[in-house]
Chains A and B, each alone.
Chain A
Amino acid sequence: MIDLRGVSKSYRLGEVALPVLKGISLHIGAGEFVAIMGPSGSGKSTLLNIIGCLDTLDEGSYTLEGVAIEAASDDELAAIRNRRLGFVFQSFNLIPRINALRNVELPMIYSRVAPAERLRRAHAALQNVGLEDRAAHSPAKLSGGQQQRVAIARALITEPDIIIADEPTGSLDSASGHDIMRLFSHLHRQGKTVVMVTHEDEISAYAQRVIRLRDGLMEKDERR
Chain B
Amino acid sequence: MIELFGYLRDIASQAWLALKDNWLRSVLSILGIAVGITAVMAVGTISKGGHYLVFSELETFGLRSVWVFRDRQDKDPHRVVRKGTGIDNDDYATVRAGCCPAVSRVSPLVYDFGKRQLIRAGNRYSNASVEGVGSEYTAITNDALVMGRSFRFEDEERRRPVAIIGPQPHADLFGVSQNPLGKEIRIGQQKYTVVGVLKAKSRSFLASIGSAGGQDANNRILIPYTLYQQQLGKKEINWLQAEAVSQDQADIAITQLSDTLKRRHGERFSYKGETMAQYIDTASRILQGVSLIGVVAASVSLLVGGLGIMNIMSTSVLERTREIGLRKAIGARRRDILLQFLAEAVFISTIGGALGLLVGTLASYGLALATGFPLAPSAAMVVIALIVSIGVGVLSGYYPARRAAAMRPVVALRYE
Residues in chain A within 8 A of chain B (CB atoms): 49, 52, 54-55, 74-75, 78-79, 81-83, 87, 89, 93, 95, 97-98, 106-107, 109-112, 114-115, 154, 158
Given A54-B329, A74-B334, CB of A112 within 8 Å of CB of B3? yes
* Residue pair A82, B331 in contact (C-beta under 8 Å): yes
B309 to chain A, nearest CB (A): 20
* Residue pair A82, B410 in contact (C-beta under 8 Å): no
* Residue pair B331, A93 in contact (C-beta under 8 Å): no
* Residue pair A81, B413 in contact (C-beta under 8 Å): no
**Interchain Cβ contacts within 8 Å, total number:** 69
CB neighbours (8 Å) of B408 from chain A are 55
* Residue pair B326, A95 in contact (C-beta under 8 Å): yes
* Residue pair B18, A82 in contact (C-beta under 8 Å): no
CA A93 – CA B21 in complex, angstroms? 17
CB neighbours (8 Å) of A115 from chain B are 6, 10
* Residue pair B330, A55 in contact (C-beta under 8 Å): no
23 A-B contact pairs sorted by A residue (CB < 8 Å): A54-B329, A55-B410, A75-B333, A78-B331, A78-B334, A79-B331, A79-B333, A81-B329, A83-B331, A87-B330, A89-B413, A93-B322, A93-B323, A93-B325, A97-B17, A107-B331, A109-B10, A110-B327, A110-B330, A110-B332, A110-B333, A110-B336, A115-B10
A42 to chain B, nearest CB (A): 17
Residues in chain B within 8 A of chain A (CB atoms): 3, 6-7, 10-11, 14, 17-18, 20-21, 322-323, 325-334, 336, 408-410, 413
CA A55 – CA B413 in complex, angstroms? 11
Q: Which 8 pairs show the lowest CB-CB distances between chains A and B?
A: A82-B331, A110-B331, A55-B410, A97-B21, A78-B333, A107-B330, A93-B326, A54-B410
A184 to chain B, nearest CB (A): 18
Which residue of chain B is the closest to A157 with respect to CB atoms? B330
Which residue of chain A is the closest to B335 with respect to CB atoms? A75
CB neighbours (8 Å) of A107 from chain B are 330-331
* Residue pair A54, B409 in contact (C-beta under 8 Å): yes
CA A25 – CA B97 in complex, angstroms? 110
CB neighbours (8 Å) of A97 from chain B are 17-18, 20-21
CA A49 – CA B7 in complex, angstroms? 29
